[in-house]
Amino acid sequence: MTANLTIPHTDFEQQPNSPHSIELVGVRKSFGSGNILDGIDLTFVHNAITTVLGPSGTGKSVLLKHIVGLLEPDEGEVRVFGSDIWGVSEHERYELRKRFGVLFQDGALFGSMNIYDNVAFPLRKHTNLSEVEIRDIVMSHLSEVGLEAAVDKAPNEISGGMRKRAGFARALVMRPDVVLFDEPDSGLDPVRTKLLGRLIQKVHRQHGGTYIVITHDIPTAREVSDHVAVLWKGQIVHAGSAEETFASDDPFVRQFLAGAADGPLGMD
Ligand SMILES: Nc1ncnc2c1ncn2[C@@H]1O[C@H](COP(=O)(O)OP(=O)(O)O)[C@@H](O)[C@H]1O
Ligand SMILES: [Mg+2]
């Protein structure tokens, strides 16, 4: 990926010497009287895809916002490549955030910009690259996600699946060490969900890094995961390799993975 070599890196050239790129330690968060995150302990392995599985409304998006430093925990720490993201200066936190690429649920594209300008946006905002250099990077990622032909389209002129792929391309242009996907399957039919899962794996094999996929969709988790963590009632109730998780005889994990109505998992 020669185009990417032209991006000047910030103070964080060093590679992580721990296999864990991100560590959450005792993270708690409440909104009003609701305890959303209730002591989250979770580590993410570098150069692997980890899925965080949990039912709707359990706090998956809230967890994602803690990982990328958009929400501050009431208690506990989020360590990103060894730095406590709320223990560093505002400037350092800003620099740490540049190591993340996020694909938000709806792609979060700017409706007034075409696909090309959406994908170019982070490079124009955060680098001094020339438009010629930007073009190389943008087109290489748009081609990676199969969208070269859609550069001139507005977000509302393309399908939901294409918008997600455009969001994915935009998440990649800053050469992130960590890429997060919030419910990449939402709004897609099963075939497009599967294709997007394959694309996530293909791109991960190409670039490496920590990939975090947040979803309630079991087929997606089966398709993409090296590791799986299960979020339930504000805590991580299971974390392990995908193989181990899908073979687990823990009644809770089995019920959750089977989507079964009977078992320890209740409605509330
Ligand atoms: N900024 C916020 N202020 C108040 N409540 C919030 C905020 N963000 C999320 N919540 C609440 O936290 C809970 C979990 O939300 P969310 O993380 O979006 O769930 P999930 O992504 O798992 O579906 C919900 O009850 C939601 O209403
Ligand atoms: Mg969510």
Ligand 1 atom closest to the CA of 216, numbered from 1: 22
Distance 47 CA to ligand 1 centre (A): 29
Residue stretches of the chain with pLDDT short of 70: 1-19, 259-268
Ligand 1 atom closest to the CA of 59, numbered from 1: 17
Neighbouring CB atoms inside 10 A of 251's CB total 12
Cβ-based neighbours of 194, under 8 Å, separated by 6 or more: 219, 223
**Ligand 1 pocket: which of 30, 31, 68, 185 to mutate (most atoms <8 Å of CB)?**
31
Report angle CA 120, 197, 177 to the nearest 5 degrees: 50
Quick one: CA dihedral 112, 115, 118, 123, positive or negative? negative
Distance 138 CA to ligand 2 centre (A): 28
Ligand 1 atom closest to the CA of 63, numbered from 1: 17
Given a contact cutoff of 8 angstroms between Cβ atoms, the answer to whether 118 and 153 are in contact is no
d(CA 241, CA 226): 6
Whole-number Cα distances in Å, 201 to 102, 169, 205, 207:
16, 14, 6, 10
Whose structure tokens read 């208690």? 75
Q: Which tens digit of pLDDT belongs to each residue from 206-253?
A: 999 999 999 988 889 999 999 999 998 899 999 999 999 988 888 878
**In CATH terms, is domain 20-99+204-262 a member of 3.30.9.10?**
no
CA 74 to chain centre: 22
Q: Identify the bridge partners of residue 35 per DSSP, sorted by sequence position.
A: 30
Position 266 scores a pLDDT of 66
Position 260 scores a pLDDT of 63
Cβ-based neighbours of 49, under 8 Å, separated by 6 or more: 200, 201, 204, 211, 212, 213, 224, 225, 226, 227
Q: In this structure, what token pair is assigned to residue 242?
A: 């995908």
- Residue ranges per domain, the chain? 20-99+204-262
**Does the C-beta of 73 come closer than 6 Å to ligand 1?**
no
**Does the C-beta of 105 come closer than 6 Å to ligand 1?**
no
**Ligand 1 pocket: which of 29, 58, 61 to mutate (most atoms <8 Å of CB)?**
61
